[in-house]
Amino acid sequence: MSSVQIDQAVPNFQLPSTSDTIFNLSDYKGKNVVVYFYPKDSTPGCTLEGQNFRDNITEFESHDTVIVGISRDSIRKHENFKAKQEFPFELLSDEEESACALFDVLHLKKNYGREYMGIVRSTFLIDKEGVLRQEWRKVKVKEHLAEVLEAVKAL
């Protein structure tokens, strides 16, 4: 499977989601979708990133935009993280790494001399027709929200 490309339609994908639902990208035609991949629930950077989206959800919604977060954590972990942080958007579980492969976000990482495959923090903006319009890879959390919001407003 090849990975997504800017200005190309994003293939439909389905993943288990919080709120006891299945996320199906094709269900969101007619809305912009921000898909953000993050390494792990309840870690400092991932928490801050989610809080930034949470705190600006009204702005995104006013531009017909849905937010979803994806990591390899289980739905149970996602439900706890979502409840604790009061996230008004769904978190998707990609334990089988299918969406990670589609968006090419799994890469070799190093931490304290240990090498492992991990999610590189990345965000993707899909327009109302299901076309990938923008991507941000190796995201720095502090500056990121403003860039995504600006791109959404430009659609």
List active site positions: 46
> Would you say how long the chain is, in residues?
155
CA nearest neighbour of 46 among 72, 23, 65, 21: 72
In whole angstroms, what is the distance from residue 130 CA to residue 14 CA?
A: 14
8 A C-beta contact, residue 1 and residue 35: no
Q: What is the DSSP letter of 9?
A: B
Residue 67 token pair: 């937010």
- Identify the three-state secondary structure at position 91: strand
Residue listed under structure tokens 């409840």: 83
Identify the burial level of 68 via C-beta atoms within 10 angstroms of its C-beta, where 0-12 means exposed, 13-18 middle and 19 or more buried. buried
